[in-house]
Structure 1
């Protein structure tokens, strides 16, 4: 006899107050113990909203109307409290800060089972196991506030694990994690999946990490309708073209193989991992030559290699910069950093969680108290400048978009910095309309920013930085929460602005993004700059592994090729041959 589903959804439609349409729209599915289900779909299709309905937050705590039914362990969520439902479903939110309530990591993880009246000994046992699984046991006495963004994400996962609920729902659980942190999270999830008595529901854009854990994929279209439901390889390999048209993420290795198909290199079946891509390439007798590196990247490499080549004037100069978190007794998170960023550079700052990347970027943008040492942005000390002067020179996008929202509607949020600079009302209106259209936010112009989806919030935050036209842009994890189409659109926009002369700084854990878009890379470890240089040189050298990072997926597939040694330096998607370059 087949066991009853842990989750049953029947014609689920959810419409937020003030929204004209429902997303998701008419979703029906069952989820059983032992399944690991990946939810895919473009930004704004209702993935996170669907996740919130699985533990009763919709309709009990979120201002949204629920049609159809969600049944958890056989009970309709309308007839149970969120507390009662938490015995069956544990949730990890897209924003980990949304669920932190106590003063130490141990208290935070113990909070859930304590409120469920679990015996004290078992509470401590669960908390210890969960914190050890996510690598935070040694910091159990720390305040959650001192953790990096990735550290808080791991803490949120530990809290969910400690509840020991049979269903675990995770919304973008690895979005702010470095490769080591991602491995830790998926090792934990893999252990749970192997026990076969849990169900895991995963909303995730990073398919390179998730693909070997997931066994079922469901896909929502832009209207929030369930359009695909099937085994992971049937969906990602057999229906890759449809997914691409929907604008959702595919593994980098799959995207690379699809690009190669246009050049006559047929890799069948489509690879899903770097190892599969490497094996498929080795099996091809002859490959076309890689495309040359773009002229801009080549010029950056030449500049780094030849001191005689004149560098552009510096846009940013950082000297002996140090930042101490939490006052004089707090840890030093940026330690004596020297960094020069030339005008017109596209610089990526990379490092593990807690390395100091975000804090360094915040010091450069002037959004934290003045650090020790000096920071100069186009002749301005950003931490001591008034808000108007700072906004004219540098636009900043926070890792958490909600940290920068100050207005009650999307349109007012975009208008705020223009109003600050004294831009006349007709010009403000025209510029706001342009940004709304560019970031596909027109239909949300009158919604409160906090009611947007995660991807929409990110687009709005980037729009607020771009609307003022500052010559320097600093962005912390700009593609977080974005579907593939929106992420590509955003990065292409940054590339176009950079080509026009805007200096761009990006903090990211996505080294494939770094390989494809950045001209230069600075590698941070322990609050210090280990080194910086042209992207191709840094990715090919020892700095990445020395910092505890992992090479981007495409480089992992190509750097060990034996049959095609000329492909070992291929790190960028733009280096892959395309249509018109037939296989030799």
Structure 2
């Protein structure tokens, strides 16, 4: 019989600030050495469950607990936070909230310093871990200078360095990573597991990408309860995910749209292993040929809204991007993609004035923009940062969203109308008087977007707007952005989500190694193996499914799926 490392027994938890419990009657056992994925829509309780495991509940977030939780045979309410931290290592979704050291090496070494490890042994161990997470050349780099993906690797390194930790908990490890780095992160988790047999628990929205790690079980939560505990193949053969608006792998969704019934023995966990019957192939071919594709609206070239002319930027004598030139026209909705550290976020900051360019020109509506102040540019361009915590100035949600209007001396009545409209659109109205600190990371994301949207900018730049969002909120946010776009607001999406790129944008700028290597349609980008490899992108699994099914026009099949899927999701609202 396998030894349980985690045992929830009729466990419930209610925050003192709330009327209803967030977790209700949880009964869950996880054996030592298992790899377990926890899924659920925003607000389902999965983060609260994780906080119970790592000790944030009850030591940081207080509330009422009933039932029991045992870790390694010890009841957690009889342990202190330090004892729990020796058993459970956590990589937070918000990596900035986890760092202690000023440099990469200092942060990785923190746990060893607490244990008073010999200096020579410490340096060897830190170098070993830095190499494993591909941060060896950056050991002396400042944490704040790293990209989101690089920060994620440092966080993983800081957890891995403590060898005695039995359980590793990863909270949305893919949220800030490009597809190739995400694949590496999941492979890294798999390698750690194979070398140490530590128990791995992953909380993640990006199911298809997460399934690169072959999980033993997937736990599905909704409204504070566990509604499914099964193998990946069993789950994908069911309709559980559709019922709670979790995005299932695109290839399984396409099969269901085509009228096929998926069985667990078809191995739907990964597209590479998926077994298609001849009937499945016929269903897909028929569905593809009989589906209609909406014509893509092409923005006719005219005077550009934003122009970059040979723009270069250096940080501490290191070139971030060099001689980047492109034009963006009024009404476009484009994607800016590329590997972690390619300079995408820095380029957006340069447009907004947060970073001064070293060479070239930026023009907005034909007027020099690079010599204007940040406040002057903010009247035209809104920038939603990747990390929402970096954007907040107020304690309560309503006040944060209203702040920009208050500073612009807008009337109180207009402020209330505009703020309430945005609160409804972003699904935040019920929480309008809540403190921001009480929100989940995904909810904070929506607050940061709402605070910019309320200002009605002409150009909106969003850095990973869908990261940490379940499918329902992903759809609501993207449909709202499309509505804004239809009203004339030009939008740039910085994203690692290839489906966002395919589904919502008609043009993609690909940045890598400080160079703009492509300015093409998303389909053209994601069918070009050279661009994919250089920019560390990932070909959609819909293309692979089309090949498996013998469909002669994969691009047409992909467009059909995107059109049909959006129509289905519009019925949710």
Q: Same fold (TM over 0.5)?
A: yes
Indicate yes or no: 2:533 matched with 1:545: yes
Aligned to 1:303: none
Aligned residue for 1:295, secondary structure, equals coil
Superposition RMSD on alpha carbons, in Å?
2.7
Instruction: Say if 2:137 is the partner of 1:147.
Output: no
The answer as to 2:98 corresponding to 1:99 is yes
Q: Following the alignment from structure 1 to structure 2, what is the Cα–Cα distance between the partners of residues 554 and 370?
A: 40
Q: Deviations over 1:164-191 (max 9, x none)?
A: 2110000011111112211221122112
1:314 maps to 304
- 1:38 paired residue number: 37
> Do structure 1's residue 402 and structure 2's residue 403 form an aligned pair?
no
1:275 corresponds to which residue? 272
How far the C-alpha of 1:414 sits from its partner, in A, is 1.0
Matches within 5 A, 1:453-472: 453-472=440-459
CA distance 1:257–1:562, change in 2 (3 Å) = closer
- The residue aligned with 2:193 is 193
Matches within 5 A, 1:230-269: 230-238=230-238, 241-261=239-259, 265-266=260-261, 268=263
Cα-to-partner distance string for 1:89-130 (whole Å, 9 max, x where unaligned): 100001111111113222211111231344545534442332
**Given the alignment of the two structures, is residue 342 of structure 1 paired with residue 329 of structure 2, yes or no?**
yes
- Asked whether the 8 Å contact 1:260–1:576 carries over to 2, the reply is no
Q: Classify 1:471/1:11 alpha carbon distance in 2 versus 1 (closer, same or farther; 3 Å).
A: farther
Q: Which residue number in structure 1 is paired with residue 400 of structure 2?
A: 413
Q: How far 1:331 moved relative to its partner?
A: 1.7
1:86 counterpart SS class:
helix
Cα gap change, 1:277/1:154 in structure 2, threshold over 3 Å: closer, same or farther? same
Contact 2:352–2:374 (CA<8 Å) still a contact in 1?
no
Distance 1:88 1:177 in 2: 27
The 3 A distance-change label for structure 1 pair 425 and 379 is farther
Which residue in 2 is equivalent to 1:284?
Answer: 281
Matched residue, 1:305: none
With the length of structure 1 as denominator, give the TM-score of the two structures.
0.89
Deviations 1:498-550 (A, max 9, x none): 22221110011111210111110001011110120222332333422332322
Pair 1:566 & 2:553 matched: yes
Query: Does the alignment pair 1:517 with 2:504?
Result: yes
The unaligned stretches of length 5 or more in structure 1 are 301-309
Counterpart mapping for 1:295-310 below 5 A: 295-297=295-297, 299=298, 310=300
Report the equivalent of 1:111.
110
- Alpha-carbon distance between aligned partners in 1 of 2:24 and 2:441, rounded to the nearest angstrom: 18
Q: Deviations over 1:309-360 (max 9, x none)?
A: x5133111111222223xxx34221222111111111110111111111111
Deviation string, structure 1 residues 234-293 (Cα, Å, up to 9, x no partner): 22322xx232121223222222222222xxx55555734333568568962461244454
- 8 Å CA contact retained: 2:9, 2:26: yes
Q: Do structure 1's residue 485 and structure 2's residue 472 form an aligned pair?
A: yes
Whether contact under 8 Å (1:523, 1:531) holds in the other structure is yes
Using the alignment, how far apart are the partners of 2:401 and 2:10 within structure 1?
36
CA contact (8 A) 1:410 1:446 kept: yes
Asked if 1:215 corresponds to 2:247, the answer is no
Distance between the aligned counterparts of 1:478 and 1:347, measured in 2? 13
Name which of structure 1's ranges 5-14 and 203-212 shifts more when overlaid on structure 2. Answer: 5-14
Matched residue, 2:206 = 206
- Number of residue equivalences: 559
Q: Which moved more, 1:175-184 or 1:469-478?
A: 175-184
Structure 1 residue 294: deviation in Å? 2.9
Against the structure 1 CA distance between its residues 437 and 12, is the aligned structure 2 distance closer, same or farther, given a 3 Å change threshold? farther
**Normalising by structure 2, what TM-score?**
0.90
Please say which of residues 521-530 and 95-104 is displaced more in the overlay: 95-104
Output the CA distance in 2 between the equivalents of 1:488 and 1:526.
32
C-alpha distance after superposition, 1:200-222 (max 9, x if no partner): 1110112122224211111111x
CA deviation string 1:470-518 (max 9, x = no partner) = 1211000000110011111111211222222211100111112101111
> Structure 1 residues 411 and 578 mapped into 2: Cα distance closer, same or farther (>3 Å)?
closer
CA pair 16-380 structure 1, distance change in 2 beyond 3 A: farther
CA-CA distance at 1:146 after TM superposition: 2.1
Deviates more, 1:133-142 or 1:516-525: 133-142
- Measure, in 1, the Cα distance between the counterparts of 2:387 and 2:532: 26
The answer on whether the counterparts of 2:353 and 2:373 sit within 8 Å (CA) in structure 1 is: no
Identify the residue that residue 54 of structure 1 maps to in structure 2.
Answer: 53
**Cα distance, 1:552 vs. partner?**
2.3
- Tell me if the contact between 1:397 and 1:465 (Cα under 8 Å) persists in the aligned partners: yes
Contact between 2:463 and 2:494, CA under 8 Å: does it hold in 1? yes
Distance, in Å, in 2 between the alignment partners of 1:420 and 1:159 is: 41
1:554 corresponds in structure 2 to 542
Structure 2 regions of 5+ residues with no counterpart? 568-573
SS of the aligned residue for 1:334 comes to strand
Relative to 1, partners in 2 of residues 1:284 and 1:552: Cα closer, same or farther, differing over 3 Å? closer
What is the DSSP-based 3-state SS (H/G/I as helix, E as strand, rest coil) of the residue aligned with 2:455?
coil
Q: Give the secondary structure class of the aligned counterpart of 1:464.
A: helix
CA contact (8 A) 1:193 1:200 kept: yes
Whether 2:446 is the aligned partner of 1:447: answer no
User: 2 CA distance for matches of 1:216 and 1:296?
Assistant: 41
TM-superposition CA deviations, 1:352-380 (whole Å, max 9, x none): 11111111122223333455322223356
